[in-house]
Amino acid sequence: MNASRKMNAPVVIIGGGIVGCAAAYYLSKSGVQVTLLERSVLGDEASGRNGGGVRQQCRDRRERGLAMASVRLWQELQATLEPDIEYRQGGNIRLATDEKRLSDLRCQSEEELQDGLPVEMWDQSELRRRAPYLAEIFLGAKYCASDGMANPLLVSRALGWAAQRSGARILTHTEAFQIEIQGRQVTSVLAKDAQGEFVIETPQVIHAGGPWTPHLSQTLGVVVPIVPARSSLAITQRMPRLFDEFVSSHDLGVYARQAREGQIHIGRSVSEPGETFDQTTPLPTIEKLARGAAQMIPALRGSNFLRTWTGTLENTPDGIAIISAVDGIAGYLIAAGFSGHGFCLGPIAGKLLSEWLVEGEPSMSLREFRLARFQK
Ligand SMILES: Cc1cc2nc3c(=O)[nH]c(=O)nc-3n(C[C@H](O)[C@H](O)[C@H](O)COP(=O)(O)OP(=O)(O)OC[C@H]3O[C@@H](n4cnc5c(N)ncnc54)[C@H](O)[C@@H]3O)c2cc1C
């Protein structure tokens, strides 16, 4: 270790995805001098590769309140961040091809309405009227008007750059490889960049490393149950404006949104089996994307894919995130395992982490997201 390379930071954030960048953004705005370490570039992993859906509906009830609070933050971020993150509330349509799916959506809508989320059930004729671009195979749908989308390529960077303007130190191409403690207190992070290894002395770490979180947490002996899985997307050539909503069908295993410039992004709404960090895109997956998209939106038949790509999901055993302190280790917060739906939740996760450190506790309960729930 090169002793001449030593830094100090009141807070070190590990991971420059949307969660780490949002935490850096809100902490910096509160006057905290954070240092963020990202081993690649900001938003290079799931946060920059995802479907762009910012969705409150069709969520686990435990995280619905967070999603609703996050949407309020997305509205503020759209007004303040640079560059424009292309956030807009075009609505979200969840489709049903059979009575069972429709009845499940109806049950869920009752719960969502009770929780204060405005959603509507559409029967077949309403669906035809409101979304004539969809195939006639659907019996109905659930619709949430305040859901929407943003451009994943821009959001983490816009947050990180705004944090930098407020004084954050953003170190890209820099990997944390060990977190050190003395007694029960975090004391430093060991990291490496192109110049070699160095130490950052710090009493506080926020670990937002996505599916790679368990690798580093192991250096503290902390087991974090997150497993990786791959999820792929394809993007079509530019097309005339066809639809504004984010649409998905779990029966067909596909979702789609049309970007501002006209390209249509098509992703798989069901997880690919297997635990893997492999980011190649298998040919059968591309075929499933093409087939599912054309079944859902007939106008897509014959359109060309410009490119495909794959990102790594971060699944926990119960499908919701870990946003948690760790018993017995002071100064170590984990925010990871968003299980394939953390793009929407990134802003609120970052804000609550900031409140936790600045004010002593977050303004919303994070009880459901404790790591300890897996240790019982
Ligand atoms: C294909 C796909 C589609 C998706 N679609 C949606 C969607 O439509 N809507 C939605 O809400 N969510 C969606 N998601 C999920 C969402 O993208 C993730 O839940 C969210 O981006 C997680 O953000 P994160 O910051 O926790 O993790 P990541 O984005 O994975 O970021 C973690 C970062 O930490 C860095 N890192 C890890 N370890 C270290 C280390 N030791 N040192 C330095 N850096 C480190 C990594 O390089 C990475 O950049 C999708 C995900 C995928 C893969």
Report the C-alpha gap between 228 and 60 in whole angstroms: 20
Which amino acid would we find at residue 26? Y
21 Cα nearest atom in ligand 1:
25
CATH number of 6-48+153-225+319-374: 3.50.50.60
CATH code, residues 227-315: 3.30.9.10
Say what the pLDDT of residue 247 is: 98
Q: Is the peptide bond before 282 cis (omega within 30 degrees of 0)?
A: no
What is the pLDDT, as a whole number, of residue 2?
53
> Is the distance from CB of 217 to CB of 226 less than 8 angstroms?
no
Looking from the CA of residue 336, the nearest atom of ligand 1 is 26
Place of tokens 């979304």: 131
233 lines ligand 1 (CB under 6 A): yes
Domain ranges of the chain: 6-48+153-225+319-374, 92-145, 227-315
Does residue 262 contact residue 239 with C-beta atoms inside 8 Å?
A: yes
Ligand 1 pocket test: which of 14, 144, 338, 352 has the largest number of ligand atoms within 8 Å of its C-beta?
338
Mutate to test the pocket of ligand 1, among 13, 14, 34, 45 (most ligand atoms within 8 A of CB): 45
What pLDDT does residue 205 have? 98
Instruction: Say yes or no: CB of residue 226 within 6 Å of ligand 1.
Output: no
Q: Are strands 175-182 and 185-193 parallel, antiparallel or unpaired?
A: antiparallel
* Cβ of 170 less than 6 Å from ligand 1: no
What number does CATH give the domain 92-145? Answer: 3.30.9.10
Run of H or E including 104: helix 99-114
Output the six-digit token pair for 134.
């969809």
Q: pTM of the predicted model, to two decimals?
A: 0.98
pLDDT at residue 272, as a whole number: 81
CA of 338, closest atom in ligand 1 = 19
Give CA–CA dist 24/131, Å, rounded: 39
129 CA distance to ligand 1 middle (Å) = 36
CA 312 to ligand 1 center in whole angstroms: 7
Same topology for domains 92-145 and 227-315, yes or no?
yes
- What's the start-to-end Cα distance of the chain, in Å? 39
Q: 10-residue block means of pLDDT along the chain (376 residues)?
A: 81 98 98 98 98 98 98 98 97 98 98 98 98 98 98 98 98 98 97 98 98 97 97 96 97 97 94 91 95 97 95 97 97 98 98 98 98 90
User: Does ligand 1 have an atom closer than 6 angstroms to the CB of 37?
Assistant: yes
Q: Read out DSSP for 306-333?
A: EEEEEEEEEE-TTSS-EEEEETTEEEEE
